[in-house]
Structure 1
């Protein structure tokens, strides 16, 4: 994902407008983000499997086809690959831990693009972490109802520091 973000920086040619003092400290422009940021993602989902983990042509035969179509069809080895991807993602998201003005909601739903749909954003069946829907977690972060909204199904405990 860092290479994707770096690609955007290069594609849009924004390196020249990024703060020079931040760029002097790191080669990765994504590390210089100082804007309050809310990260919303699933640990792995249908799009990530089909486009990152097992894009067409990257595996022999049709070994990932049924897994890509339905996670219940994944073999134990494929589940191990998914868990490895999840572990790397969670490790990379540790960047949010030290940033008090960043929020985080990382669930284990297999559905990609959860935010445009009310059923996943805020409904009786929407994903919940710490008894909060995506909308409630984003609202708490955005409106400052709590500081340090960081929720992840990967965590054994949910971190939320009240204002």
Structure 2
């Protein structure tokens, strides 16, 4: 495994472990649910274990409403990396632990008033392709399965049979690689639900941009191209994008959202912690480790590095600008050094939660979903201008 891939794998492993073991006071821990006949359907993780998800049933007025949230956890871009990944919980569902929901999946009316009593689902991410891969052939010696797309469809099919086929409202969401998946699968999700269902999509920290790194190399572009080739993802990326552009570019949200039909809300830190570490200043492009401290703490950056970060922020805002002019889109772009902000109650909604223009994330998303007001909130200032920021780097 190359240094770039190793750094990404180590980073995602650390924060994925914290996600899986974290329990909250807002809901009792949930056991994992394995998709019925998943193995027979070929809907399996990298190691061949069955597709899985966590489920908390809706109640009261939310019994016919659904939030389907996809976990994050990076990607594997070649067979060697995927073989290594299948040996841990990011490539397998075998050792899935109990999980408690919080933030957008929380069950407290006071801390999640718009979605607290909905049917809530968290889809286990164990394929390394943002649920896009589908290759039938399996090397009997290596036993690695590239079936992310089948996993996604199998989970959604089972949820439809559980009552989502009668949904009044449905929100497809995700964080990090799952946030990217919520964009890539958004229109498919819309098409699988009844025409009468109000369907929207929500991406948290999934708006990865096509940018050069500090050495001038298009490293993330090459990395995503390898992901698409390794997993056979091209046929499962949005056709409205691949009809215009090479498939590898259609792994970048900035090109997909131009032709999306379904309303999308993007929550992202302008100084996204993962993107700074892995797109802007990956270790493979920082041989002298000049960026090591800066990547972990922006306050430790030199003046030159701070200027580079400002340039990256500008590039990110340009990449998301197409959504500013979309009447159906929602935006919450804060000037925080964070990654994934919807899964923690302290950040989502409540006393001390992250705010832009005096509006908390949970309030902004609810206002947008229910069309209470147009919601395009962007911090127009540089880090650390927003005193409500929580510098979190989660991949829930």
**How many residue pairs are counted as aligned between the two chains?**
149
Q: Which residue of 1 aligns with 2:377?
A: 151
SS at match of 1:146: coil
Structure with greater contact order relative to length (CA < 8 Å, sep ≥ 6) = 1
Contact 1:23 1:32 in 2 (8 A): no
Q: Which residue of 1 aligns with 2:344?
A: 117
SS at match of 2:287: coil
Q: Which residue of 2 aligns with 1:159?
A: none
Residue 13 of structure 1: how far off its partner (Å): 2.1
- 2:324 corresponds to 1:97: yes
Contact 1:36 1:101 in 2 (8 A): yes
Q: Which residue of 2 aligns with 1:65?
A: 292
C-alpha separation between the residues in 1 aligned to 2:357 and 2:346? Answer: 18
SS at match of 1:151: strand
Task: Give me the CA root mean square deviation.
Answer: 2.4
C-alpha separation between the residues in 1 aligned to 2:297 and 2:242? Answer: 42
- 2:283 corresponds to 1:56: yes
Contact 1:41 1:106 in 2 (8 A): yes
Which TM-score applies when normalising by structure 1?
0.80
Q: Which residue of 1 aligns with 2:236?
A: 14
Residue 60 of structure 1: how far off its partner (Å): 3.2
Residue 92 of structure 1: how far off its partner (Å): 1.3
SS at match of 2:284: coil
C-alpha separation between the residues in 2 aligned to 1:76 and 1:100? Answer: 38
Q: Which residue of 2 aligns with 1:160?
A: none
C-alpha separation between the residues in 1 aligned to 2:273 and 2:331? Answer: 20
Runs of 4+ in 1 over 4 A off after TM superposition: 2-5
Q: Which residue of 1 aligns with 2:85?
A: none
Residue 23 of structure 1: how far off its partner (Å): 6.0
Question: For residues 50-98 of structure 1, what are the alpha-carbon distances to aligned partners after superposition, in whole Å with 9 as ceiling and x for unaligned?
Answer: 1111111212312001111211110011111110000011111110122
Q: Which residue of 2 aligns with 1:135?
A: 362
Contact 2:283 2:289 in 1 (8 A): no
Q: Which residue of 2 aligns with 1:126?
A: 353
C-alpha separation between the residues in 2 aligned to 1:144 and 1:64? Answer: 42
| Candidates 256, 261, 268, aligned match of 1:41 | 268
Question: For residues 105-133 of structure 1, what are the alpha-carbon distances to aligned partners after superposition, in whole Å with 9 as ceiling and x for unaligned?
Answer: 00011121111111111122211111100
SS at match of 2:341: coil
Higher helix share: 1
Per the alignment, do residues 23 and 60 of structure 1 end up closer, same or farther by CA in structure 2, a change over 3 Å counting?
A: closer
Contact 1:106 1:153 in 2 (8 A): yes
